[in-house]
Chains A and B, each alone.
Chain A
Amino acid sequence: MACELWREKLDAYVDGELPREDEQAFREHFKSCDNCAADALDRVQMKRSIQAAAMRYRPDPALRARVRSSIAAPSSTKRTWRWAPSFAFAAACVVLIAALWTSHFRRYTREQQLVSELVDLHVATLASASPVDVVSTDRHTVKPWFEGKLPFTFDLPELQGSPFTLIGGRTSYLNQSPGAELIFRIRQHNISAFIFQESAIEQNCRLASASDFNFHLESWSRNGLCYFVVGDVNAEDLGKLAALLKG
């Protein structure tokens, strides 16, 4: 097949829209045609450039709150005026208990999901060939490294005299929002401290102390930022690091 005919299908190829056998045929063609291979590479790079550039605008948290309340309102309003006069007290109690349980269960599920995501991020970091992007035990080196990479800033504690060592840091993402991940070490254990903007969390970030697959987590919020410390150390050590970070 002439290159012109291959090129007609190149967009569909890089968009992953071709049948498997056509993809295979393309890969075979690339082995013998440098021009088509370079063309495909160029299109992939263009796709990546657009992907990276396209998340440009972030909504105001107040807008999110407005929309959330506007779409949540109809159910609660209808429930109030239509249920109340129709049922006996006992039935209302059953409904109330069910509603509370559902609400609690949904909140619990969301919290559990957040815990699992943070544990996944922590494990992925430790499994990475280069766990940190800035390698330094000096907080005066690590903190400035984040300047220009995050839309917020934060303080790092003085660790001298504590059992913790700062290993370094990297940028991390939660719900497509950037945040800081700082790696600390105590004995042979690594702990990740994540810092994200509250708007990135989409729920209350003050979680109850949680554990997931033997990983422990503590969280708190301050000045519009959510802090999470995650690690496989015991809850007491995790609490000590949290206390240092809280200042």
Chain B
Amino acid sequence: MAVAESRVASESFEDLALPLFDRLYNFAHWLTQNREEAEDLVQETYAKALKGFSSYQQGTNFRAWMYRILRNSFLNSRAGLKAMPIGEEGNEASESSLPVTPHTPETILLGRLDQELVHKALDELPVIYREVLLLCEFEEMSYQEISAALGVPIGTVMSRLSRARSALRDIVKRLQKE
């Protein structure tokens, strides 16, 4: 019986987890900015997720669960510690010191932005903002899902997103002038 359940669980894990592979890899590469580290991170994520699959609660958000494992693995990696030192993560005081640029018509950037420009701007964005933007815009996660993936309250997701967008705009404007 236990074996049968294990087999069913393993098959379900494969079915649930493999379709996320490409996007998890893309996200991992955006976080690490390095192919080899992204590959290690994805492999580690799948290994940890398979191991912990029995603790995953069926019916809850599997995608957010996988992203959370990937992100926690990243935070514990050398690249993660460098990009987001311990203490910075979830430190609302240090985040709130970054101003939210008022969004006035003068700051409006009309028209679709050049992809290369967006790549450069995202590359420059601090990881803490890059990840929340990617989860919202590219993964099209709801605030609730992002909250589960990042392990922060929804209010933090909203303020972080707002600051991330302002910061991205500032970078885009600077790059456009260069």
Contacts and interface: CB of A to CB of B under 8 A. Distances in A.
Interface centre among A7, A48, A56, A60 (most CB of B within 10 A): A56
Interface stretch (B19-27, B57-65, B69-77, B82-90): B19-27
Contact of B103 (A10, A49, A59, A63): A10
A70 B6 contact: no
Contact of A72 (B14, B22, B140): B14
Interface string A47-81: 11111111111111001101110111011001100
Given A49-B113, A66-B43, A39 B17 contact: no
Given A38-B108, A53-B118, A63-B39, A79 B29 contact: no
B78 interface: no
B105 interface: yes
Interface centre among B7, B30, B136 (most CB of A within 10 A): B7
Interface in B77-117: 103, 105, 108-113, 115
B140 to A, nearest CB: 8
Chain A's interface: helix, strand, loop or mixed, by majority? helix
B86 to A, nearest CB: 27
Interface string B1-43: 0010011001101100110011101100110000100110011
A79 B7 contact: yes
B111 A12 contact: no
Nearest to B28: A57
Contact of A50 (B14, B25, B108, B138): B138
A48 B138 CA distance: 9
A149 B106 CA distance: 35
A117 interface: no
B26 A56 contact: yes
Contacts of B7: 75, 78-79
Contacts of B103: 7, 10, 39
B110 A11 contact: no
Q: On chain B, which size bracket covers the interface? A: 35 or more
Interface string A18-59: 000000000000000001001101110111111111111111
Contacts of B111: 45
A202 B18 CA distance: 9
Contacts of A58: 22, 25-26
A35 to B, nearest CB: 5
Contacts of B67: none
Given A35-B105, A50-B118, A54-B138, A67 B26 contact: no
Contacts of B17: 71
Contact of B143 (A15, A51, A63, A176): A15
A62 to B, nearest CB: 9
A64 B165 CA distance: 33
Nearest to B38: A57
B172 to A, nearest CB: 8
A17 to B, nearest CB: 6
A56 B50 contact: no
A102 to B, nearest CB: 9
Interface centre among A66, A75, A78 (most CB of B within 10 A): A75
18 contacts: A12-B143, A17-B142, A38-B105, A38-B108, A38-B110, A49-B112, A49-B113, A49-B118, A50-B118, A50-B134, A51-B140, A52-B118, A53-B122, A54-B122, A54-B134, A55-B26, A59-B21, A59-B25
Interface of A: 7, 10-12, 15, 17, 35, 38-39, 41-43, 45-60, 63-64, 66-68, 70-72, 74-75, 78-79, 82-83, 175-176, 202
Given A15-B136, A46-B168, A54-B26, 9 more contacts: A17-B142, A45-B112, A52-B112, A53-B115, A54-B138, A66-B43, A70-B43, A70-B50, A71-B14
The 8 closest A-B pairs by CB, nearest first: A57-B29, A54-B138, A53-B118, A75-B10, A59-B25, A49-B113, A50-B137, A42-B108
